[in-house]
Amino acid sequence: MKGYNVEGYVHSVETGGMVDGPGIRYVVFFAGCSLRCKYCHNPDTWKHKDDQLVTVGDMIRDIKKYKSYLKFSKGGVTVTGGEALMQPEFLVELLAACKDTGLHTVLDTSGHGSMATARKALMHTDLLLLDIKSINPIIYKELTGGSLKPTLEILKLSEHMEIPVWVRYVIVPGYTDNMDDIQQLADFLRPFRNITKIEVLPFHKMGEYKWDELGMAYELRDVEPPSREVVERAKGILGQRYEEI
């Protein structure tokens, strides 16, 4: 197939992922990201430095080795990053090839890419994992260096295309633990009937060592994970949707 010759940069893969969608997942970490999130646990995916240039065909041949247990677990393939939308043709062709192979597909993104690319990618996507860093555009900019707008645009696009969505929201003390902002997010999300799950996750520093290895200043070094009480309050406001997809 022509699309199998399309090349892209892949940082790494995980063949037994359990947290990036339903079932057991083959997780593909794309290289490249335009955001600079202060709490990113994969800063080593931001640039193409030592990443592998592979073809869609290379990826599908490897994915097929795990197809039986991916299918048995009701899992599939998750494409994440970095930011997968930054490699448009490779992303679309890889998702399409996974669907042709009979596998469930998940796109994990913050929406930072062109909506034309997002539309093409979602045509081959069974589930969208959407990271909403903050509903407050000022906090979003401070935390990520980017704009909130693309995140909201891809959510609206997913609703129009009737793609199920799992929303992820990370509680970062001093940034995203403001309960008024969380209430505003809950109010914004409530009308979206395609949101089947909302995950409220506590900030952690498990990726801090990567910043040190890369010689980068980790600004959240003195920030502690949120208390259980704060996380539970946020969950109570946002609600937890667990409908099967």
Q: Is 88 left (phi over 0), alpha (psi -120 to 50) or beta?
A: alpha
> Domain with 186 in it: what CATH number?
3.20.20.70
Q: Is residue 137 part of a domain?
A: yes
Assessment of whether the complete model's pTM goes beyond 0.85: yes
Query: Would 79 be classed as within a structural domain?
Result: yes
Q: What is the pLDDT of residues 136-160, one digit of tens each?
A: 999 999 999 999 999 999 999 999 9
Decide if pLDDT at 63 tops 50: yes
Residue 33 belongs to some domain of the structure? yes
Domain that holds residue 100: 2-238
In a domain, 58, yes or no: yes
Of the candidates 154, 151, 30, the one whose C-alpha atom is nearest the C-alpha of residue 94 is 30
CB-CB contact of 110 with 148 (8 Å):
no
Is residue 44 included in any domain, yes or no? yes
* Average pLDDT over all residues of the chain: 92
Look at residue 179 in the predicted model and tell me its pLDDT: 97
Asked whether residue 65 is assigned to any structural domain, the reply reads yes
Residues 6+ apart with CB under 8 A from 159: 165, 192, 193, 194
**What percentage of the chain exceeds 70 in pLDDT?**
96
The domain tally of the chain equals 1
Question: What confidence score (pLDDT) does residue 41 get?
Answer: 81
Flag the least confident range among 14-23, 36-45, 60-69.
36-45
Q: Residues 233, 111, 27, CA angle at the centre, nearest 5°? A: 85
Answer yes or no: is 243 within a domain. no
Residue 245 inside a domain? The answer is no
User: Could you report the per-residue pLDDT of 203-233, keeping only the tens digit for each?
Assistant: 988 778 888 888 889 888 989 999 999 999 9
Indicate the angle between helix axes 228-238 and 179-189, nearest 10 degrees: 30
For residues 43 and 128, which has the higher predicted lDDT (pLDDT)? 128
